[in-house]
Structures are given as C-alpha cells and as structure tokens.
Amino acid sequence: MELMRARAPAKINLTLRIEGRRADGFHDLASLVAFAGAGDLVFLHPDAPLALEVSGPTAAAAGPDDDNLVLRAARAFAERVPGARLGRFVLEKRLPVAAGLGGGSSDAAAALRLLAGLNGLTLDDPRLFAAARATGSDVPVCLDPRARLMRGVGDRLSAPLALPPLSAVLVNCRVAVPTAGVFRALGLQPGAMLPGPEHPDDLPEAKAGNAAALRALIARLPNDLEPPALALAPEIGRAMALLAETPEARLVRMSGSGATVFALTDNCRAAAALARRVLAQEPGWWVKPTVLR
C-alpha cells in the first residue's frame, strides 16, 4: 500500500472545570473541546516493522521516540486486534510540546485512525476506543477531532457539536508546563471537590451558530488549571496580559494545563492582525492565527 497520512490537530479546551479528585487519584473534569487548524502530521508506511521517526520544527522537544504516545497507541491497538497490520510511523512535529494543546494525544489518535483504516476498522469500533483510553485520557476525544463536551476522565464524550467557527490566535511563550505538575499544584486531595460553577451538559449556545453567544458561555466557565499553571509559569500571565490589551481580542483563556493561551476574535482578519501584533513584540513566541471548530 501507499504511504498513509493523517492530520493531528491541536486540541483546545475552550472551558475546563476540574470537578473533583476521585479516590483512585484521577480528576473528574468537564470541558468543551474544539480543534484548531494548526497541528502535527502523522504518516504510516504500512506493513513495515513497528517503528517511529520524529521530525519537524519541534521534534527535539518531543522526548524519546520509544516513549512516544504514537507507539504506545500502536501497541495498545495490537493488543486488542490480534494479527493487526502495523507499520513504520513518521511524525512531523509542528506543535509545541507540553503546551496544553493535546499534541501527543492527537498524534496518538491520528496513529489509531491510520491503523483502523489499514485494518478495515470503523472509527466506532469499541477496540479502537479501548486502545485510545489505554493510551491516555485525552486520546479518545481526539479520535474523531470534532468539537465535543468531554467529561469524567476523558471517557464520556458528547455527540459532535456543530460550533460556529471561532476565529482565534494561539500563543505559546515557549515554556513547557507538564500536566502532572499543574495537577499537583492544584492540590486536590482524593475525594475532594473543587468549588466553582457547574458545567452544563446541554450547551444551546454551542448549537445556535452564534459565535458571540458562544464566547459569552465560555467566559462564564473558567479553566480551573489557570491558577496553578500561572504559579508554576508566570510567563503565561504575561502572554495573557499582552493578548488582553489588544483591540482584536474578545476573550483570552489558557488551554488545557498550559502554557498555550488563546484569544478569540471577531473574524479571521482580526486574528491575523492580532497575530502580527504579538509577533512584532515577541518574535520568539509560537503564534498561530487559526479557526476553532
């Protein structure tokens, strides 16, 4: 077969409520998730020995290839699909690492989509979802990268949501913020709940096709990981403040556990102008105008 290819788009947490910490140590969350135009690329050479090559502008920060989530996902797939055809993966890494963009999870999900296609599995095959869950909490929502409400430990997903396209700028100040450290800094003990607004299951604003109404909904629901991430990496606050001062930004928020922040704008032209404004002040930062869907 010819070389196979899949996009691995950045996952953006438009909202992120940490509802509490379970007795097993994991955290229950509720998050409205969308996906960006920016992302990595994953290629598969079918039927070659299982292996991974990482290239691209952010490859050096991706860590050891043997520990990459792409290979973990492939092994989880092989455990659940006896006799599965595998291959050699090539990951073109474009997204910042440890950046709150779910890059590794999206890479793993793209690898699973490629293996599903190679082996004649549909995306709703329960073995594919099981392999995704075994690989990481954010991998299931990335299997079919469309906007959804994600709950629990990433294991409960809504049907896809037809969000109005949200023009945005993603900004990463080149600081890596490991997720585990942010959750430790959050400091919830097993069995403890985190006070805050209840995240609704029904999101009429997300279905109405009105971007302004959706921005208002997002503004009412915080990212609970912002305070601990800011304590660990104050540079995130500087990036948020820079965005908030621009005339184009309508809402500024951190994604995931950081350090990437995003600004929602009225349209793509405003997003492009905002991106140019940020790069003029901080040419060393990673800045991407995009559309979230």
pLDDT at res. 208: 65
pLDDT at res. 292: 97
Taking 50 as the pLDDT cut, the residues of the chain under it are none
Place of tokens 């079918």: 46
pLDDT at res. 235: 97
| Digit-coded pLDDT (tens) for 171-210 | 999 999 999 999 999 999 999 999 999 999 888 877 667 8
Active centre residues (catalytic): 11, 138
Please give the backbone phi and psi of residue 124, each rounded to the nearest 5 degrees, phi first: -95, 10
Q: What share of the chain is helix, strand, coil (3-state, %, to 5)?
A: 35, 25, 40
Cα–Cα distance between 20 and 48 in angstroms, integer?
Answer: 44
Counting Cα atoms < 13 Å in the Cβ hemisphere of 289 gives 18
pLDDT at res. 4: 98
pLDDT at res. 207: 66
> Which has the closest alpha carbon to 158: 202, 209, 199, 192?
202
Counting Cα atoms < 13 Å in the Cβ hemisphere of 124 gives 2
pLDDT at res. 50: 97
Strand-pairing partners, residue 223, are: 16
Cα–Cα distance between 90 and 256 in angstroms, integer?
Answer: 26
pLDDT at res. 210: 85
pLDDT at res. 66: 78
